[in-house]
Chains A and B, each alone.
Chain A
Amino acid sequence: MATLLQQIVNGLIFGGLIAMVALGYTMVYGIIQLINFAHGEIFMTGAFGGLAVYTWLLPAEAQKIWYVALPAMMVGGAIVSLVVALLMERLAYRPLRNAPRLAPLITALGVSVFLQELTRIVYPGANSAVPFPNVFSAAPVHIGSITIPSSGLLMLVVSVVLSVVLQTYVNRSRMGRAMRATAQDPDTSRLMGINPDRVIVLTFGIGAVLAGIGGVLYGTYINNVDPYIGFQNGLFAFAAAVLGGIGSIRGAVIGAFVIGLIKNIADIYLPGGTAYDYVWIFILLIAVLVFRPQGLFGEVERVRA
């Protein structure tokens, strides 16, 4: 029982991480129907950006004070992710806005490989895993027999808070309304005076900031990063977005927690253990795509070319 509870806690923490990445997938897909394969790499550049801030910008005394170091790293990671994502949108995706649907998908793959390799080559020592400082090293929380690592708890809290803020922003603010309108009908919303380019840039930007913060928190939780973390976690996040119904913010967050729980429970209770947890998630992903492509919270599938 204690093991199960512990795995559930671990699953929720992992789900919190995945949620921060999944939000970017789901928002971009909602607006321009693009599976932004490179979004996982945005998360990864965020982690490296945070690490770079810690390594080269923070003075030694500030590195030890978590309430200075951590926000600085989160801001740094978010800025790096934001810049990379906006460049990507401007240079790679925008020219293909009206191209056949295969084209931007292949471009996204290319951007993904490019960013992985660029990070590996440019960042010193990134040929193998780079150690990430455990900035937030408060004592772990014990509840009964369960141990909750403090950095994990932080990740969960930040993720939930950011999701709620985002949901409120999209539902209440003027720009949020513009986003929803563009997602529903880009042509009509353009007639209503909404600039779709601005909305798209904003969407990419919000997704990137969330992913960048997620990357930094992932680093402090796992304590090492490599250029390929984006690919795997990106896949999980994408699975979460699809599971929850791509295009839906609430769906992405709930999907992420479901994925997190399945992964951690499969580690212990499903045949094959940790070696096969990925396999179970991908099987679930395929099953969802085949049997309920609109996901748990998505709209009923529309015919797409």
Chain B
Amino acid sequence: MKTAMARPLSAIGSVVLIIGALLPWATFVLNDGPYPDKATLEFFDAPFGLSSFRLYLEILGLAGIVFTFVPVRDKIRVLKSIGWGAAGISVVNLLFIAGDGGGLGAITAADGVPAFGSIVAVVGSAVLLFGAYQLPPEPLTVIDSKLPWWAEWLILLAAFVALLFLITETLTAGGHSGVSDPYIGPLFLSYLSAVGALLGVLHAFGVTEWISDMSERHRVFSIVVLVLCAVAVPFTSVGNDYWMTITANIGVYAATAIGLNIVVGLAGLLDLGYVAFMGIGAFVAANLSGAVAAEFHIQLPFIVAAIASGIVAGVFGAVVGSPTLRVRGDYLAIVTLAFGEIFVRVSQNNIGGLTGGSNAIPNIPDLSLFGAQFNDAPTIGGLQLPGGVLYYFLIVLLVALVMFVFGNLKNSRIGRAWIAIREDEDVARAMGVKTGKLKILAFMTGATLAGLAGAVFAHKLATASYDSFQFNQSVTLLAAVILGGMGTIPGAVLGAALLFVLPEELRQFKDYRLLFFGLALVVIMRFRPQGLIADRHRRAELADEDTTGESLDDTAIKEPVAVAAKEAGA
């Protein structure tokens, strides 16, 4: 009975969605700022258009109809992805037009002009979703066909190039180089929803898993291609000073987030003062950079200063980690939080003249290599590259290094021991894992990586200020790790990218950034504690799913887990 309704409902929803996309969306022309093309918001206003969010909705609606009737595997996941993507686009644009157009009049009817497009689209996607949820759940599709190696290489290459294209498109969705386009927010979010729907459908078909398995089989090749893709970014449409700076910042935070992922994701030790290690690295590098305000007036080569930053941060990591020998879980989180606060206070007070206090350490000299200043725009073989591109390359190198460390540790004896500690410390100890040493090692490794990132960060910003290393930054990094998925590399990178790109794209909502972070943490913990890209074992642990992603029978698992948790807590 339930299933019988699914097909008609999702078909009707899809049709309504297409109708909604074709109707007018705003009753009057919004005039919001000087941006030449979009000042009149014509695509909100002109019906039958085939661009931007209308196009996405029309495609999603068509896909909805097609997948409702064509027999595909795992129909529920496919239709759910389409439905949520469409709902995202419709709701975002509805809220934007209503909010910016000054109320309900903008999205219903005013001055004899009807514009019910957004409401119809929201209803359509709701019906589609309702239909999709009537379908019976299916196990995740697995494609396990193996191709000859050259075919797999070609597929991987195509996948990574497509990924590069998606990323550059995402960055430039709704305008280039940060020109203040007042509509950048909804444009960007619409694009993001559409991409999310696309990835969801691919995931339902098992394509994403297939490609990730393939990249697992050809690890070296994938890493080379990934690095090449990253190096190719400055030559694409985002190759300008603005995006070089943003992507470099994302890179620094991604590297730090991967480091935090070792501590939180692998070893399961919650660190709430992690950004302090980045701060320590930044201040060490600043003091050894020959900046005028620095305490030591020596200028070491960057590579030496960066290693020194890593070592000093690592030593602090070991010191902060040492209470882990006696303190567990929540208490450890508090120790790290207290350490983070001590760091902020101490550096704010310019202890020993090392941190510059509230004046910070300004004018850290630009890095240079073979006479090329890193902030300049170099010309290679007659090709003019954007400014700051050398920092970008340096940071790509840093991220690659951190990924390399993380990937190798995770699959090593040490990594397995960390995961054992995370799952159950007492059992791990009973099995002969030296828990104390390994926990300190986790803190040390994480801190060293953060210290390195901090050194690059100081030179990139040319300033080291205590203000960049406050508790909020630690929360943001933690949110990046959790949002992306604990214990995975792509997760940490994706999380950092989202948390540091979204504020750029959504500058008009900048004030609400932390509000959304807080809400996101709560919502993720409630509905998807394993994060966007879940580690298979982590997922099994957090979401009552087995390693194939299939939901286990609720009654079978809930009770023993609850009892076990109680016993462990008592």
Interface membership of A78, Cβ < 8 A:
no
**Across the interface, which residues of B come within 8 angstroms of A304, CB to CB?**
328-329, 568-569
Residue of A nearest to B511 (CB): A121
Quick check: B323 and A289 within 8 Å, CB to CB? yes
User: Contacts A102-B270, A106-B482, A289-B327 given: A282-B338 contact, CB under 8 Å?
Assistant: yes
Quick check: A95 and B526 within 8 Å, CB to CB? yes
Within the assembled complex, what's the spacing in Å between the Cα atoms of A302 and B328? 11
Within the assembled complex, what's the spacing in Å between the Cα atoms of A178 and B329? 27
Within the assembled complex, what's the spacing in Å between the Cα atoms of A235 and B482? 23
Interface membership of B341, Cβ < 8 A:
yes
Q: Which residue among A106, A112, A117 has the maximum number of chain B CB atoms within 10 Å of its CB?
A: A106
- For the A-B complex, the count of residue pairs with Cβ-Cβ distances under 8 Å equals 145
Quick check: A33 and B569 within 8 Å, CB to CB? yes
**Which of B240-248, B375-383, B441-449, B558-566 faces chain A?**
B558-566
Interface membership of B520, Cβ < 8 A:
yes
**Across the interface, which residues of B come within 8 angstroms of A291, CB to CB?**
326
Quick check: B331 and A289 within 8 Å, CB to CB? yes
Mark out the residues of chain A between 79 and 111 whose CB falls within 8 Å of any chain B CB in the assembled complex: 92, 95-96, 98-107, 109-111
> How distant is A267 from chain B, measured CB to nearest CB, in Å?
14
**Which of A66-74, A248-256, A258-266, A271-279 faces chain B?**
A271-279
Quick check: A187 and B566 within 8 Å, CB to CB? yes
Mark out the residues of chain A between 112 and 139 whose CB falls within 8 Å of any chain B CB in the assembled complex: 112-118, 121
**Across the interface, which residues of B come within 8 angstroms of A107, CB to CB?**
521-522, 525-526
Quick check: A118 and B328 within 8 Å, CB to CB? no
Quick check: A276 and B518 within 8 Å, CB to CB? no
> What does the 1/0 interface line of B544-570 toward A look like (CB < 8 Å)?
000000000000001001100110111
> How distant is B397 from chain A, measured CB to nearest CB, in Å?
32
Quick check: A110 and B521 within 8 Å, CB to CB? yes
**Across the interface, which residues of B come within 8 angstroms of A61, CB to CB?**
none
Quick check: A98 and B561 within 8 Å, CB to CB? yes
> How distant is A16 from chain B, measured CB to nearest CB, in Å?
23
Interface membership of B333, Cβ < 8 A:
yes
Quick check: B570 and A185 within 8 Å, CB to CB? yes
Interface membership of A8, Cβ < 8 A:
no
Interface membership of B310, Cβ < 8 A:
no
**Across the interface, which residues of A come within 8 angstroms of B478, CB to CB?**
106, 109
Interface membership of B339, Cβ < 8 A:
yes
> How distant is B480 from chain A, measured CB to nearest CB, in Å?
12
**Across the interface, which residues of B come within 8 angstroms of A103, CB to CB?**
525, 529, 542
Interface membership of B475, Cβ < 8 A:
yes
Quick check: B338 and A305 within 8 Å, CB to CB? no
**Across the interface, which residues of A come within 8 angstroms of B520, CB to CB?**
110
Q: Which residue among B323, B327, B426, B518 has the maximum number of chain A CB atoms within 10 Å of its CB?
A: B518
**Across the interface, which residues of B come within 8 angstroms of A187, CB to CB?**
566
Mark out the residues of chain B between 469 and 517 whose CB falls within 8 Å of any chain A CB in the assembled complex: 471-472, 475, 478-479, 482, 511-512, 514-515, 517
Within the assembled complex, what's the spacing in Å between the Cα atoms of A291 and B327? 9
Quick check: B342 and A118 within 8 Å, CB to CB? no
**Across the interface, which residues of A come within 8 angstroms of B339, CB to CB?**
282, 286
Mark out the residues of chain B between 267 and 285 whose CB falls within 8 Å of any chain A CB in the assembled complex: 268, 270, 272
**Across the interface, which residues of A come within 8 angstroms of B472, CB to CB?**
113
> What does the 1/0 interface line of B35-57 toward A look like (CB < 8 Å)?
00000000000000000000000
Quick check: B333 and A105 within 8 Å, CB to CB? yes
Q: Can you list 27 pairs linking A and B with CB atoms under 8 Å apart?
A: A33-B569, A92-B522, A95-B526, A96-B525, A98-B561, A99-B525, A100-B542, A109-B272, A113-B517, A113-B518, A113-B521, A117-B515, A118-B515, A121-B511, A121-B515, A185-B570, A235-B337, A242-B334, A275-B345, A275-B349, A279-B342, A282-B338, A289-B334, A290-B323, A291-B326, A304-B568, A305-B568
Question: Other than the known A103-B525, A104-B525, A276-B345, what 13 A-B pairs have Cβ atoms closer than 8 Å?
Answer: A96-B526, A98-B561, A107-B522, A109-B475, A110-B479, A110-B525, A113-B475, A186-B566, A187-B566, A235-B341, A285-B334, A286-B339, A304-B569
Which 8 pairs, one residue from A and one from B, show the smallest C-beta to C-beta distance?
Answer: A110-B521, A114-B518, A113-B518, A305-B568, A117-B515, A282-B338, A110-B522, A98-B562
